[in-house]
Amino acid sequence: MITHNKSITLKFDYLIIGAGTAGCVLANRLSEKIQNNVAIFEAGKKSDIWKVNMPLAILYAMHDPKYNYKYYSEPEPYLNNRRLFCPRGKMIGGCSAHNGMVYVRGNKNDYDRWASFGLKDWSYEKVLPFFKKIETWSGGENKYRGGDGILPINQSKNKNPLFKAFLNSAKEAGYKINSDMNGENQEGFGMYDVTIHEGERASASKYYLNSVKNRKNLNIFTESFVEKIIFDGRKAIGIEVKIKNKVKKIYANKEVILSGGSINSPQLLMVSGVGPGAHLKDKGIETIHNMDGVGKNLQDHLETYIQQECKTPDTLYTYVNKFNMIKAGIQWFINKSGPCSTSFLEAGGFCKSSSDKEYPNIQFHFFPAFVIDHGKVDPDRHGYQLHASLNQPKSRGHITLNSSNPYDYPKIQFNYLENEYDLNETVKCIHVARKILSQSSMKPYAGKEIGPGENANDKKQIESYIRSKAETAYHPSCTLKMGTDNSAVVDEKLKIHGLENIRVADASVMPEITSGNLNAPTLMIAERAADFILNS
C-alpha cells in the first residue's frame, strides 16, 4: 500500500475503484482541486518494471499472473467451442501498462451514433476537445490534434522495410495512404500513433498518476482488493476493501467511481447487489437494485490473422535467437533504443469491405512475425501476418457471476459470430487482406501463405479457418452501457440509473464499441467523466 497522508482516514471525498487507464486519469484530474480528497484502489501491484516499460516486452506482462488477471471466456459456441484468452491488466496503469500501445480514437461517426441514442454530450463535436486535452501529438497541434496534453502521442517512425512494402501494397490495391488516422478522416493506411515515448511505454500510470503521486490530497492504495460497494438504501456510501489481508470499510463523502473495466466493474456491481435480480438471487446475493443491463451487451473486436512466410530476414524471428535477443535487450537497457524500443504493431489502417458502407468497417494491423497462441510459442520461421477485424460487430455477449465470492472469476461469454453478419463480413476481411498482400510491393518478401493457406479459397473453407483461428483483439467493452433505454446502466453523465453517489468511468459505459483500439476512447471517457464531476 502506498499513501501520501501520514494518518489514513477512513473517509475520502472520492473513492476510485481501479487504477487502470481510466482510474489514473480520474485520480489526476479530481485531485487537481486541492479541496478534493481522493483515494484510488488497485488490486494489483505497481507497474514501474522493465517488462512494462520495454515496448517489445508486451507479452511478458500479459502472461504474468502477478500483473494480469489472465481471464478466459466460456466455450465460444460459434468458434468451435474454444475458450479464448482474455488478458486484463492487474497493476497500476491497467491495460495501458500491457497493451500494444496503438493509439486510435475511433471514427467520428462512432460518437455521432452514440449521440443519436439520446446522448447528446457524446457527439464527436463534444468529445473532440477531450481527445485533444489528452495528447501532446508529435505532429503538432491543429484543429483535430492536441499539442499540450499530459500524454505524449507519437506517430511511429519504425523503419522496418516490411512496413514500407505493406503500405505501398495497400496503395497499389487501391486504398489511400493517410498521414493521420486520428485526424479529420480515419479511412486509409499508414503508420499508427503509438503511446511510446523516448523508447519507453507511455502508460496512463506513468503520465497521469506517477506525475502527481505526491499530491497531499491523493491517496494511492496498491494490492488493495475492493470486495464490495456499501449502500445505504440506494445511495453508495463506501467500499469494503482488503488491504494487507484486513478488510476495511472506507467511506465516500461525495462519490464512488467504478473504473475496473468491462469485466471487473459489472462483476463488482453484481456481488454488491446491483444487477439482474434473478441472477443475483440464484447466487445468494441480496438485490439492492434490480438492473437487467448489468453485464449485458458485451462487445469485442474479433481478429483473424492472414499469415505468410517471409523470404527475407526482416522479421522478429531474428530475435528468437537468444544471442540476438540478449543483444537487443542490452541495447534497450543502456539507451532505450533498438528493436525493444518499439512494439512492431505500428502499420495498418481502415477501409470498407464494400462501397455501400457509410464509413470504414475493417481495421488492419500488420505485424512482422507470426504470433502463436498469444505469443506463448515462438515461431519456427520468418513470417508476417495481417490482423483483420470487423469494427462494428453485431454479436453480443455477457458477463455473469460464478458465485457471490468477489475473488471468483466471472463467466465471460462473448458469443463471437453469433450474428451471421459478423461471419460474412469477416470473410470479406480475409479477401481484402489477401488483395493487399498479393500486390507487387510485397512480392520480394512473400513466401507461401500459411493461414488460411493457399488452397483455402471457397467460403466454407475460409469460414472454417475463422472459426478455428480467430482470436480476441483484447477490446472487451459495453457491459454497463450508457443510454436511456431499459437495458442502459448509466446515463450520459455516467451516473448509474436509479442509484445515488455512484458512477462508472471505463470502457464498459460505451453503448457500442468504437472503430479501433480502445485505449484512446477510454482515456477520453475518463477525461469526460472528470469534467462532469468537477462541474456538477
What's the mean pLDDT in 239-255? 96
- Residue 430 CA: distances (Å) to CA of 56, 166, 457: 27, 16, 10
What's the mean pLDDT in 147-156? 96
Would you name the residues annotated as active-site residues? 475
- pLDDT the model gives residue 536: 83
**How many other CB atoms are found less than 10 A from the CB of residue 249?**
13
Strand partners for 11: 251
State how far the Cα of 488 lies from the Cα of 513, in Å rounded to an integer.
15
Q: For the CA atoms of 161, 63, 99, 219, what is the dihedral angle to 10 degrees? A: -150
Give the amino acid at 162.
Answer: L
What's the mean pLDDT in 130-150? 97
Strands 347-351 and 289-290: unpaired
Strands 274-275 and 246-258: unpaired
Domain ranges (residues) in the chain: 157-191+302-390+417-469
On the CB side of 213, CA atoms within 13 Å amount to 17
- Residue 284 CA: distances (Å) to CA of 74, 435, 451, 502: 22, 54, 47, 23
State how far the Cα of 414 lies from the Cα of 408, in Å rounded to an integer.
19
CB 349 within 8 A of CB 188: yes
List of residues 6+ apart from 229 with CB closer than 8 A:
17, 236, 238, 239, 256, 268, 269, 272, 274, 502
**How many other CB atoms are found less than 10 A from the CB of residue 179?**
10
State how far the Cα of 476 lies from the Cα of 412, in Å rounded to an integer.
10
Secondary-structure breakdown of the chain: helix, strand, coil percentages, each rounded to the nearest 5? 30, 25, 45
Local confidence band at 9 (pLDDT 50, 70, 90 cut-offs) = low
Q: Is the pLDDT of residue 7 over 50?
A: no
What's the mean pLDDT in 277-293? 98
Q: Is the pLDDT of residue 334 over 90?
A: yes
Specify the residue for cell string 507461401: 448
What's the mean pLDDT in 141-162? 96
Architecture of domain 157-191+302-390+417-469: 2-Layer Sandwich (3.30)
DSSP 8-state assignment for residue 68: B
- pLDDT the model gives residue 5: 41
Average pLDDT, whole number, for the chain?
96
Q: Left if phi > 0, otherwise alpha if psi is -120 to 50, otherwise beta: which for 319?
A: alpha
State how far the Cα of 385 lies from the Cα of 306, in Å rounded to an integer.
5
pLDDT tens digits, one per residue of 466-515: 999 999 999 999 999 999 999 999 999 999 999 999 999 999 999 999 99
- Residue 38 CA: distances (Å) to CA of 5, 33, 43, 259, 320: 11, 10, 17, 14, 46
Local confidence band at 240 (pLDDT 50, 70, 90 cut-offs) = very high
Percent of the chain predicted with pLDDT > 90: 94
Residues, the chain: 536
- Of the listed ranges 22-26, 142-146, 218-222, 371-375, the least confidently predicted one is 371-375
What's the mean pLDDT in 115-123? 97
pLDDT tens digits, one per residue of 342-382: 999 999 999 999 989 999 999 999 999 999 889 888 899 99
- Please tell me the pTM assigned to this model: 0.96
pLDDT tens digits, one per residue of 27-72: 999 999 999 999 999 999 999 999 999 999 999 989 999 999 999 9
Local confidence band at 10 (pLDDT 50, 70, 90 cut-offs) = confident
